[in-house]
């Protein structure tokens, strides 16, 4: 018998003893029902930091103050200017766009146990990553292992992951640094499980996608190959994704009326008339009204867009196979 088989068998034995204990201890039953419905219970495996709550699936609580949907912080105001890259949470450091991405993901993805989540170059550090690993089967990846180091190196143009192995891909402000967009999207489509999702953020400041007229680098010195516009939505659809552009309510209203003045802000970094014209056919979906957006520190609607890309749902047989594989991974 090999070492691997012994390890698997001993794990199975441990699981069986644990299961027997749960089945014969009535005081644990309620907790187990919650676990089966919503994933790990608060007492099953506490996250290593108390800065994050035990579950990611939480509605925005009633109230009027600022609220961080990542760590659950509530208070007077986020830090810094009312800008997509700022409004930092005093507890977890999340920026406005971090919170919008996380909101889109958790509000739109059906609650599923053992969700396999991959995030490219997460901006936030160890406490956030530990919380994500507590909530999901989570892997942080990075391309050059420089500014936002991940645990796995991943090149979006040449994804070294098994077909259908990812339930949710979170990728924010990475695709604009990839020269061959089409190759990356083909790889992502292959890697997502049937019905899997990508929540994609890129800076959208123009109407149509262009190459930067002059060499452009973001703060961490990575080159920008593309300045995307709302035409990215059609491109994503051509790669087989069911795509919705998730925004906050004022943006949908402004696209309908064609009036950028209703959006507020100075908008100097954004070409608002071109954006509104291009957004008309892009398939915008409002996911937050302005009051809730402001609670999350998302002040200017035109600064926030998340492309939701869903892979084609599989047959019932595919879905069952995915569930069996997940369960097997859990047992091992």
- The residue among 83 and 91 lying less far from Zn ion, judged by its C-beta, is 91
Which among 64-72, 150-158, 254-262, 299-307 is the span making contact with Zn ion, rule CB under 5 A? 64-72
- Long-range pairs of 220-225 with CB within 8 A, sequence gap ≥ 24: 220/146, 220/147, 220/148, 221/147, 222/144, 222/147, 222/177, 223/177, 224/176, 224/177, 225/176, 225/177, 225/178, 225/179
- The residue among 54 and 191 lying less far from Zn ion, judged by its C-beta, is 54
Which among 63-71, 181-189, 192-200, 319-327 is the span making contact with Zn ion, rule CB under 5 A? 63-71
Q: Is 92 a residue that touches Zn ion (CB under 5 A)?
A: yes
Ordered alpha helix ranges (H), 205-289: 232-238, 249-257, 272-279
**How many whole angstroms from its chain centre is CA 21?**
36
Size of the site for Zn ion (CB under 5 A): 8
**Shortest CB 123 distance to Zn ion, Å:** 13
Q: Is 70 a residue that touches Zn ion (CB under 5 A)?
A: yes
DSSP string over 172-211: ES-GGG-S-HHHHHHHHHHHEEEEEEEEEE----SSS-B-
**Shortest CB 193 distance to Zn ion, Å:** 29
| Member of 67, 73, 78, 103 binding Zn ion (CB under 5 A) | 73
Spatial contact of 289 and 324, defined as CB atoms under 8 Å apart = no
Q: Is 236 a residue that touches Zn ion (CB under 5 A)?
A: no
Q: Is 68 a residue that touches Zn ion (CB under 5 A)?
A: yes
**Shortest CB 87 distance to Zn ion, Å:** 11
Ordered alpha helix ranges (H), the chain: 3-23, 29-38, 96-108, 126-135, 181-191, 232-238, 249-257, 272-279, 290-295, 316-331
**Shortest CB 133 distance to Zn ion, Å:** 17
- The residue among 132 and 233 lying less far from Zn ion, judged by its C-beta, is 132
| Member of 47, 52, 87, 89 binding Zn ion (CB under 5 A) | 89
By CB under 5 A, name the binding residues for Zn ion: 68, 70-71, 73, 89, 91-92, 94
């Amino acid at each position: 018998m090999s070492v691997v088989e012994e390890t698997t068998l001993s794990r199975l034995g441990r699981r069986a003893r644990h299961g027997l204990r749960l089945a014969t201890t009535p005081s644990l039953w309620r907790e187990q029902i919650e676990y089966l419905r919503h994933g790990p219970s608060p007492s099953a495996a506490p996250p290593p930091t108390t800065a994050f709550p035990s579950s990611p699936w939480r509605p925005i609580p009633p109230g009027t103050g600022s609220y961080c949907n990542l760590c659950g912080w509530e208070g007077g105001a986020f830090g810094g200017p009312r800008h997509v890259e700022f409004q930092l949470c005093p507890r977890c450091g999340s920026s406005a766009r971090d919170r919008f991405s996380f909101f889109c993901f958790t509000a739109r993805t059906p609650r599923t146990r053992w969700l396999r989540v991959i995030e490219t170059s997460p901006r936030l550090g160890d406490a956030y990553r530990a919380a994500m690993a507590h909530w999901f089967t989570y892997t942080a990846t990075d391309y050059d292992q420089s500014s936002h180091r991940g645990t796995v190196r991943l090149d979006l143009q040449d994804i070294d992951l098994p077909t259908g192995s990812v339930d949710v891909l979170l990728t924010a402000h990475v695709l604009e640094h990839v020269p061959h967009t089409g190759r990356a999207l083909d790889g992502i489509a292959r890697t997502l499980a049937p019905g899997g999702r990508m929540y994609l953020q890129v800076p959208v400041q123009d109407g149509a996608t262009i190459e930067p007229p002059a060499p452009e680098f973001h703060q961490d010195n990575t080159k920008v190959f593309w300045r995307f516009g709302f035409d990215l939505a059609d491109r994503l659809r051509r790669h087989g994704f069911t795509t919705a552009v998730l925004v906050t309510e004022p943006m949908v209203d402004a696209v309908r009326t064609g009036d950028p003045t209703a959006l507020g802000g100075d908008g100097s970094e954004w070409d608002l008339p071109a954006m509104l014209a291009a957004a008309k056919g892009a398939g915008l979906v409002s996911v937050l009204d302005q009051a809730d957006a402001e609670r999350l520190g998302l002040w200017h609607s035109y600064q926030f867009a998340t492309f939701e890309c869903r892979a084609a749902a599989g047959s019932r047989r595919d879905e069952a196979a995915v569930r069996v594989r997940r369960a097997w991974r859990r047992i091992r």
